[in-house]
C-alpha cells in the first residue's frame, strides 16, 4: 500500500527510523485495529494509533462523555459532554490524521457479538474497565486468532501484556492465554471501581500509549513483544517491572483438556 507525498512527510520520523521505515509505515496504513473502549486507556491509545497512521481504527463504546471523564479521558473535551464517546473519539482522531478511517461501534460488546466484530480487525487493544469484558474479548481473540494487547489501571498502578495464545512459543508449548494469567475474575466488589477508588489521570496516558506501542510493534514486527510477560507499573515510586508467566495446561482454551473446536 503506497504512501502519498503528504503521508511521506507526515510519517517522516517513522520512515527514517530503523526497524520501521517505509515498509513498516505501509504495514501500518494497511492495518485494521480495534479499540475496546474510548475512555481513559482508549483515549491515548486511539490518539497514537491515529498519529502513527494506522489505516483503519474501530472504536467500541456504548457510553457518553461526562464531566468526570475529562480528568483522564483526553480524547474528549468539555464541549463533548453528553455526546457518544464513539462520535467524540472519531472527530478527535480525524483532527489528528485525516488519512485514517474511523469505524464507530456505539454499543456494548457482548459474547454473542464479539466473534463477528473481532474478525474484521487484525489486532485488538482492550482498554475496558471490567473483567467480564476482558474475558469476553480475550476468549474471542483466541478463537479468531487475533493478537490482543490488554491493559488495566487502578488508582496508581497499571499493567499491560500481549496475548497470542493461538501460537506456540519457542519452548514448543502454547503461548499463555489471559486465563493462564487470571484463571478467574476476582469476587464481585473485591476491587473498587474507579468512581469509588479514584484513578491518577496521567497513569492512563502512560498505559494507553504503551498499548499503542505494543500494537505498532505487532504490526511492524520490531523488537520483543510482551507475549508471556506482563509489565507492572507503580507510579507511587515510579517502579516498572516485567514478570514472566507461562501456559497453564489446565486453562480451558488451549489447555490439555480443551475442546479443539
Contacts of 192 (CB under 8 A, 6+ apart): none
* C-alpha cell at position 116: 463477528
Active site residue 194: yes
- Residue 251 burial (CB < 10 Å; 0-12/13-18/19+)? buried
The CA distance from 193 to 66, in Å, is: 16
- Beta strand ranges found along 74-156 (DSSP E): 101-105, 123-126, 148-154
Distance CA 227, CA 212 (A): 15
Q: Which of 194, 209, 213, 232 is catalytic?
A: 194
Burial class (CB in 10 A: 0-12, 13-18, 19+), 70: middle
Could you list the active site residues?
194
Amino acid at each position: 500500500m503506497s504512501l502519498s507525498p503528504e503521508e511521506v512527510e507526515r510519517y517522516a520520523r517513522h520512515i527514517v527510523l530503523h526497524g520501521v521505515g517505509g515498509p513498516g509505515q505501509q504495514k501500518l496504513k494497511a492495518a485494521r485495529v480495534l479499540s475496546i473502549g474510548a475512555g481513559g486507556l482508549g483515549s491515548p491509545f486511539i490518539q497514537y494509533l491515529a498519529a502513527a497512521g494506522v489505516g483503519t481504527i474501530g472504536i467500541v463504546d456504548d457510553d457518553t462523555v461526562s464531566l468526570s471523564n475529562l480528568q483522564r479521558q483526553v480524547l474528549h473535551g468539555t464541549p463533548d459532554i453528553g455526546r457518544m464517546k464513539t462520535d467524540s473519539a472519531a472527530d478527535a482522531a480525524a483532527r489528528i490524521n485525516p488519512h485514517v478511517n474511523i469505524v464507530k461501534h456505539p454499543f456494548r460488546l457482548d459474547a454473542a457479538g464479539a466473534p463477528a466484530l473481532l474478525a474484521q480487525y487484525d489486532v485488538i487493544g482492550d482498554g475496558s474497565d471490567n473483567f467480564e469484558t476482558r474475558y469476553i474479548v480475550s476468549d474471542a481473540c483466541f478463537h479468531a486468532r487475533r493478537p490482543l494487547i490488554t491493559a488495566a489501571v487502578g488508582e496508581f498502578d497499571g499493567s499491560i501484556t500481549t496475548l497470542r495464545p493461538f501460537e506456540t512459543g519457542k519452548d514448543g508449548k502454547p503461548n499463555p492465554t489471559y486465563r493462564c494469567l487470571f484463571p478467574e475474575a476476582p469476587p464481585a466488589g473485591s476491587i473498587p471501581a474507579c468512581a469509588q477508588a479514584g484513578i491518577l489521570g496521567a497513569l492512563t496516558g502512560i498505559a494507553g500509549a504503551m498499548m499503542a506501542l505494543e500494537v505498532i510493534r505487532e504490526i511492524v514486527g520490531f523488537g520483543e513483544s510482551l507475549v508471556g510477560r506482563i509489565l507492572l507499573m507503580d507510579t507511587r515510586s515510579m517502579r516498572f517491572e516485567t514478570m514472566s508467566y507461562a501456559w497453564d495446561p489446565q486453562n480451558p482454551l488451549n489447555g490439555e483438556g480443551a475442546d479443539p473446536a
